[in-house]
Amino acid sequence: MRRKRLLRAAGAALLMLGGLTAAGTVPATAHDATTAKAPASEGLLTAMRHDFGLTREQAEARLASERAATKLDPKARATAGAAYGGSWYDADSGRLTVAVTGAASPATRAALREAGATVRTVRHSARALDAAKARIDRLKAPQGVSSWHVDPKAGTVVVGVVGDRRADNDVQSFLTRARAAGPVTVETVSKAAGTLAAGTVGGDPFYTGNVRCSIGFSVYGGFVTAGHCGQPSAAVYGWDRSYVGNFQGSSFPDNDYAWINVGSGWWTVPVVLGWGTVSDQLVRGSNVAPPGTSICRSGSTTHWHCGTVLALNETVNYSQGAVRQLTKTNVCAEPGDSGGSFISGDQAQGVTSGGWGNCSSGGETWFQPVNEILNRYGLTLHTA
């Protein structure tokens, strides 16, 4: 059945090789007339209505405003300059919020508002917060510390600590050193994150050794996925157990990314599988969705689920070691979903790294941004 679907999709230039890919938001300025056009396929609108409890009109409006915020975000960063304190999408107002320090001039604030952003004054610049996080990244974190990231809303580096480990001496010692690095807020989490690879059970490709993971995005010559799924040169087999290619590059921990070459009759197409929940999604680019925007994930175990971007550039402390520059979401995932696609609109966002929880009770999942993978290996995203 999967083979028939792939053949049909290849003919229509719609399907991705044996597993999954990802896509994301199409950006537009706050005043761009393109925001009046249909922002997504019928399938994506259906998923948004189901996962966010929205009407069709509300889903269309949210996706259109997210497109505008995504395109405005890099322009706002450039306009704010050294006074930039971070930015995020506010679902209630449907606008991008841009934080600036007191050093921002009245003219800068006016320019941001004129561009369509909401402006908020904060104490610390994004540069200062990023520097504080970089200092924390150099610390050795105990297992009771789950992750840390810059939160522009809070104006601090938020450090997640597993609730029943907060009183541990090694956790308290880490927090003392973290607070010395800069402004820190401690957040209690219920569980630590873990990677989401699985042993061979029935379902989607791909397989390597005794591990099943999920395909992320097509690139010219292969696809990208999670680094913890396999080591360089390891052979990869597709959903039908036929040979696909080999890991050409892989990094884990510190990073969690890899790429696999494709041959032996396999091919790549710029599509993310919707698994019948939504129509398969074309990939048109990789513009980064800011915090607060909606995002969906495609994986070989739990298929299609959506949620919200919670934080960028988070360091996650897995049992195997810390992984940096991950994006945090409240989308659920389960073992075997590792490496699968995160998309926002029709823009590729990243490949599933790990998380906690499941798709029955909920949880949180992190992904490795796709642009970092492309840059690391000199790859080109296959787009429609």
Please state, rounded to an integer, the average pLDDT across all residues of the chain.
87
- Write the pLDDT tens digit of every residue in 344-380: 999 999 999 999 999 999 999 999 999 999 999 999 9
State residue 31's pLDDT score: 30
Catalytic residue status for 41: no
Selected residue with higher pLDDT from 31 and 258: 258
Selected residue with higher pLDDT from 47 and 213: 213
Q: Which residues pair with 159 in a beta bridge?
A: 148, 186
Q: Which helix (H) or strand (E) holds 135?
A: helix 126-137
State residue 11's pLDDT score: 33
Selected residue with higher pLDDT from 79 and 26: 79
Tell whether the torsion through CA atoms of 45, 58, 344 and 366 is positive or negative.
negative
State residue 195's pLDDT score: 84
Structural tokens at position 132: 């504080």
Decide if 285 contacts 270 (C-beta within 8 A): no
pLDDT at 24 over 80: no
pLDDT band at 204 (very low <50, low <70, confident <90, very high): low
pLDDT at 23 over 80: no
What is the C-alpha separation between 333 and 319, in angstroms, rounded? 18
Amino acid found at 166: R
State residue 202's pLDDT score: 32
Phi, psi of 155 (to 5 degrees): 70, 30
Residue of 147, 218, 250, 338 marked active site: 338
pLDDT at 199 over 70: no
Catalytic residue status for 256: yes
- Write the pLDDT tens digit of every residue in 55-111: 999 999 999 999 999 999 999 999 999 999 999 999 999 999 999 999 999 999 999
Catalytic residue status for 228: yes
Residue of 124, 228, 303, 305 marked active site: 228
Average pLDDT of the segment spanning 19-30? 26
45: Cβ contacts below 8 Å, ≥ 6 apart: 56, 59, 60, 63
- Write the pLDDT tens digit of every residue in 270-303: 999 988 888 888 999 999 999 999 999 999 999 9
State residue 196's pLDDT score: 75
- Reduced to 3 states, what is the DSSP secondary structure of residue 53? coil
- Write the pLDDT tens digit of every residue in 129-150: 999 999 999 999 999 999 999 9
State residue 40's pLDDT score: 61
Decide if 27 contacts 67 (C-beta within 8 A): yes
For the chain, count helices (H), then strands (E). 7, 23
Number of Cβ atoms within 10 Å of the Cβ of 188? 12
- Write the pLDDT tens digit of every residue in 172-194: 999 999 999 999 999 999 888 88
Residue of 73, 151, 204, 256 marked active site: 256
State residue 41's pLDDT score: 67
Tell whether the torsion through CA atoms of 96, 99, 102 and 105 is positive or negative.
negative
